Amino acid sequence: MAGSFFRNLIRNRAMLLMVLPGAVWFLFFSYMPLIGTIAAFKEYRFSRQGFWYSLTHSKNVGWDNFKYLFNTDAAYTITRNTLLYNIAFIFLGLVFSVALAIILSEIVNKRMAKLYQTGMFLPYFLSWVIVGYFAFSFLSMDRGLLNHTLESFGIDSIQWYNEPKYWPFILIFVSLWKSAGYNSVVYLASIMGIDKSLYEAAMIDGANKWQQIRNITLPLLKPIIIIMTLLAVGRIFYADFGLFYNVPRDSGTLYSVTNVIDTYVYRGLKTTGEIGMSTAAGLYQSVVGFVLVLVSNFIVRKIDKDSALF
């Protein structure tokens, strides 16, 4: 039996060699960290003697880190923020992306449509650091364009980076701004794939543009919409770190509305040094996220097997 195993290895040696680099990478960057999640159940101390030593010699505290974590207000806040923002992003993102796709597909002058698309696509290519600077040029207290405009209408300047209440709107706006153009491409491709004769037939039957959109375009987009949405829902426990870290410029006063699970974990590592609780938060996120991805993928499979992740 062992003989045939080795025979198989040798027969497949070329292919095995090909997957070797990638597999080793996965081992170090994806699978070993899984072992590291045990740190969530320990009082982890960075020891100079390296990873294994630190892991095995840190005190075992069982579920304590999780208990501390869920006893804080933070656990509720970051979960709420992550979920609510993602729900808003998914829903509004969908509406805007589909709307843009339909608009672009209906514009008669195709060259102009291509031009608009070029413009809309740009934000996706810029990093969140750059976008953070953009936001600053508008929101800066003494020099920003927004306050300047307010002043010219006789309204007092607002300390944008200190007032939590505006930030849900700001963050949702910025997120849509960055991704709507990019996401619309997927829907646009689907629309382009719709059989033109359907529209012809509808027109012969006297349907106007809106009826055509409502009865042909949208229903035919439904499958891809459902799939994109489900895949997004599968990731609903993960936030875009770049958005929530760079755009609010790490302003502490805004944490109640800008801290999401990802930023909380990061701050635990780099700033507050609460490794235990933060790793617990990270594990909490990974487990819930995992379940959600499995469930959503399962549902997507039921709808359209080819579109599922696996």
7: left (phi over 0), alpha (psi -120 to 50) or beta: alpha
Choice between 86 and 296, CB closer to another protein: 296
Select the residue interacting with another protein from 215, 290, 295, 298 (CB under 8 A): 290
Stretch that binds another protein, among 30-38, 56-64, 65-73, 162-170 (CB under 8 A): 30-38
Select the residue interacting with another protein from 3, 62, 108, 219 (CB under 8 A): 108
Choice between 86 and 147, CB closer to another protein: 147
Q: How many residues bind another protein (CB under 8 A)?
A: 107
Measured CA to CA, the distance from residue 37 to residue 281 in angstroms comes to 10
Q: What angle do CA 129, 181, 81 make, to 5 degrees?
A: 55
Distance of CA 148 to the CA centre of its chain: 33
Number of neighbours of residue 307 by Cβ within 10 angstroms: 16
Give the nearest distance from C-beta 24 to another protein in angstroms: 9
Best CA proximity match to 202, nearest among 213, 212, 217:
212
Give the nearest distance from C-beta 13 to another protein in angstroms: 9
- Site residues for another protein, 197-256, by CB under 8 A, read 199-200, 203, 209, 224, 241-242, 246, 249
- Site residues for another protein, 253-282, by CB under 8 A, read 262, 265-266, 268-270, 275, 278-279, 282
List the x/- string, 55-94, binding to another protein by CB under 8 A. ----------------------------------------
Number of neighbours of residue 152 by Cβ within 10 angstroms: 8
- Site residues for another protein, 109-138, by CB under 8 A, read 109, 112-113, 115-123, 125-134, 137-138
Distance of CA 80 to the CA centre of its chain: 15
Select the residue interacting with another protein from 61, 107, 172, 225 (CB under 8 A): 107
Sign of the dihedral defined by the CA atoms of residues 298, 300, 302, 305, in that order: negative
Distance of CA 249 to the CA centre of its chain: 19
Give the nearest distance from C-beta 282 to another protein in angstroms: 3
Best CA proximity match to 247, nearest among 164, 161, 145, 121:
161
Position 97 contacts another protein (CB under 8 A): no
Stretch that binds another protein, among 62-70, 87-95, 102-110, 164-172 (CB under 8 A): 102-110
Give the nearest distance from C-beta 67 to another protein in angstroms: 18
Select the residue interacting with another protein from 45, 54, 164, 251 (CB under 8 A): 54
Measured CA to CA, the distance from residue 100 to residue 108 in angstroms comes to 14
Stretch that binds another protein, among 61-69, 71-79, 81-89, 140-148 (CB under 8 A): 140-148
Measured CA to CA, the distance from residue 209 to residue 106 in angstroms comes to 9
Measured CA to CA, the distance from residue 242 to residue 250 in angstroms comes to 11
Position 196 contacts another protein (CB under 8 A): yes
- Cα–Cα separations (whole angstroms), residue 175 to 124, 164, 169, 209, 243: 10, 17, 10, 31, 7
Give the nearest distance from C-beta 177 to another protein in angstroms: 7
- Site residues for another protein, 152-171, by CB under 8 A, read none
Position 8 contacts another protein (CB under 8 A): yes
Backbone torsions φ then ψ of 130, nearest 5 degrees: -60, -45
Is the CB of residue 258 less than 8 Å from the CB of residue 167?
yes
